[in-house]
Structure 1
Amino acid sequence: MRIAILDDYQNVALSLADWDSLNANTTVFTEYLGTDDDTICRVLEPFDVIVAMRERTPLTATRLQRLPNLRLLVSTGMRNSSIDLEAARSRNITVCGTNGSPTAAAEHTWALIMAAARRLDVELFSSAKPRAAGHPWQQTLGMGLHGKTLGIYGLGRLGSQVARLGQAFGMKVIAYSRNLTSEKAIEVGAELVGEKDLFTRSDVLSIHLKHSERTTNIIGRQQLGLMKPSSVLVNTSRSAIIERQGLIDSLHAGTPRLAAVDVFDNEPLPVNDALLSAPGVIATPHLGYVTEDQYRLFYADAVEAIKSWRDGNPVRVLG
């Protein structure tokens, strides 16, 4: 059995789970394979099993059709919109998921909120900007969060966690999504508002919608233009939810003042990407799920999934 572990950028997969127990030929890919179908299919063609790290390398119908040896596909997490489950079923490829941390993404959302509120992107001393090299002492005025309004677009599991943490900071929490009810909002201490009020009233607006055809580009220039000139937009969900050029244009226009983002249309993000040159962008390289605890769970469950499938009893089958 030949196993491919994809997109292990930190080269940690083999150290975080007992892959040796599989007695298999395991290959780790620490570099992104890119977007070219021919290259990806040529590299992955020999493998019986592929372990995919979230949505970093999409396994589309076109690609699955060109992987004749593939029999098991394990995705970290229990949802992966970049895997064509119907195409996998048609080719008798079993697709399994793993458990994951219920809190990692919410924690990173708050890391971005705090970084934006206190402008850590500007103020932080580091080896790149040491004090001794003339890095200025105090350049910005931070934003206090107590008494400010936290807006949540999508009050599901992650949005609810972010909302509760906002209350711990003394923030007023408002929320909106198409199917959100007052009862659900009250459960987490939030006020249900309309879409326009969400954008006009929020000092910090955090996006927690699931990506779908309906939510693609659901936020654009019109909504962003309603935000306060002092506001912060945070997106740790999916980049396609916010219309890309609309975000860039809105930042240049000054509303919102800052955008703290962890997700991008193209990942890894090209160094010359236009978003990075827009004013007020604080960007992290999709770190929302990248923690040691989470990776240990991902990879241990991947090993278990492979063993169970090999024994004829696959677990956490998707689709």
Structure 2
Amino acid sequence: MKHRLAILDDYQDVASGFADWAALEAQGITVTTFRKPFASPEALVSALAGITIVIAMRERTAFPREVLEQLPALKLLVTTGMANAAIDTGAAADLGITVCGTPGSPAAAPELTWGLLLALARHLPAEERSLRAGTWQSTVGFELAGKTLGIVGLGKIGRRIAGYGKAFGMDVVAWSQNLTAEAAASAGARLVSKEELFRAADVATLHLRLSARSENVVDEPELRLLGPEGLLVNTARGPLVNQDALVRALNGGWIRGAALDVFDQEPLQAGHPLLTAPNTVLSPHLGYVTTESYRQFYGGAFEDVTAWLAGSPVRTITA
């Protein structure tokens, strides 16, 4: 069987440099790269007609059941990372599609989180623009030392953030639905209720996986509790925050500001109200976009493909 492989959402046109795709082509496999997002599920299905292997970059392209059912040739779906809420793994199993994951960088997202927080606290984007326009100093920032850092979700990323907070001299509190006092303490944090976290935090940062119970975990009540001196940072998933409420909070001065790397719909569309909301630092979902991360993603994807071709798939993901 002649295989056809598609690499999706290679925004920066760099996938070719992170794995030896030529080795697959030497085996008679056709490799096609798509740089831009697909405009619709119909466009995706049309583009992938006859494709047997797909490499998906994180959750940039969704593969629900209704899409997978229209891709009868698809046999292997590789996602970068080991979790992808945009893939219906149950449907894939029903349809005989193997789903595999890859390693990822544990440092990329936490480092970006802290960079966004510092940029927000010290008004760096605004000051950079002002400097280029000829103005020397126009804002007054604030220090993190001595402030309270509230972490919503104390998993692998949240624990790193707790360490950063302690290194900056912050008091670290944490909450999630299943977090225990012992687990929080082992990360250098103190367990509090969600209400207590948003009331006490000078900075609230989100590091939960998106699920039915975590969607809109931050809504108007939490933003009101955070208050006019509080900052919100979200580098996890856009729907963790009610974005309509967040826009109202920013425009109404309920909170001091927000740093966001993730949004309800990505790419963020022109004219979105967050683009003009005050006191924001926005980035285009760069949490995992590093050389080190891409090396693991694409290198791991290449390993997944070669292992599957050899009849011994690795890092399989099931429903």
Same fold (TM over 0.5): yes
State the match for 2:251 in structure 1. Answer: 252
Asked whether 1:86 is paired with 2:85, we answer no
State the match for 2:208 in structure 1. Answer: 209
Q: CA deviation at 1:26?
A: 0.5
CA distance in 2, matches of 1:297, 1:239: 24
Which one-letter code corresponds to 2:7 in the other structure? Answer: I
Say if 2:131 and 2:137, in contact at 8 Å, map to a contact too: no
Which one-letter code corresponds to 1:29 in the other structure? Answer: F
State the match for 1:196 in structure 2. Answer: 195
State the match for 2:108 in structure 1. Answer: 104
Alignment partner for residue 68 of structure 1, among 44, 48, 72?
72
1:109-145 deviations in Å (ceiling 9; x for gaps): 00111101111110125xxx663xx331111101111
Say if 1:202 and 1:228, in contact at 8 Å, map to a contact too: no
1:72-131 deviations in Å (ceiling 9; x for gaps): 000000000100111111111111000001111111100111101111110125xxx663
State the match for 2:163 in structure 1. Answer: 164
State the match for 2:54 in structure 1. Answer: 50
Alignment map for 1:287-298 (pairs within 5 Å): 287-298=286-297
Q: CA deviation at 1:255?
A: 2.2
Asked whether 1:95 is paired with 2:107, we answer no
Alignment map for 1:1-319 (pairs within 5 Å): 1-23=3-25, 24-34=29-39, 36-124=40-128, 131=132, 134-319=133-318
CA distance in 1, matches of 2:162, 2:131: 35
Say if 1:234 and 1:261, in contact at 8 Å, map to a contact too: yes
1:235-282 deviations in Å (ceiling 9; x for gaps): 011111111111111112212111100001111111211121222221
Q: TM-score scaled to structure 1, two decimals? A: 0.96
CA distance in 1, matches of 2:239, 2:206: 11
Helix, strand or coil: the match of 1:81?
coil
CA distance in 2, matches of 1:233, 1:156: 18
1:149-176 deviations in Å (ceiling 9; x for gaps): 1110111111110011111011111111
CA distance in 1, matches of 2:217, 2:287: 22
Q: TM-score scaled to structure 2, two decimals? A: 0.96
Which one-letter code corresponds to 2:117 in the other structure? Answer: I
Say if 1:210 and 1:238, in contact at 8 Å, map to a contact too: yes
Q: CA deviation at 1:210?
A: 1.1
CA distance in 1, matches of 2:60, 2:8: 8
CA distance in 2, matches of 1:203, 1:250: 15
Gaps of 5+ in 2: none
- Which consecutive segments of 4 or more residues in structure 1 shift more than 4 A? none
User: Between Structure 1 and Structure 2, how many residues are aligned?
Assistant: 313
CA distance in 1, matches of 2:233, 2:292: 24
CA distance in 1, matches of 2:41, 2:284: 24
CA RMSD, Structure 1 to Structure 2 (Å):
1.1
Gaps of 5+ in 1: none
CA distance in 2, matches of 1:104, 1:270: 25
Say if 2:120 and 2:280, in contact at 8 Å, map to a contact too: no
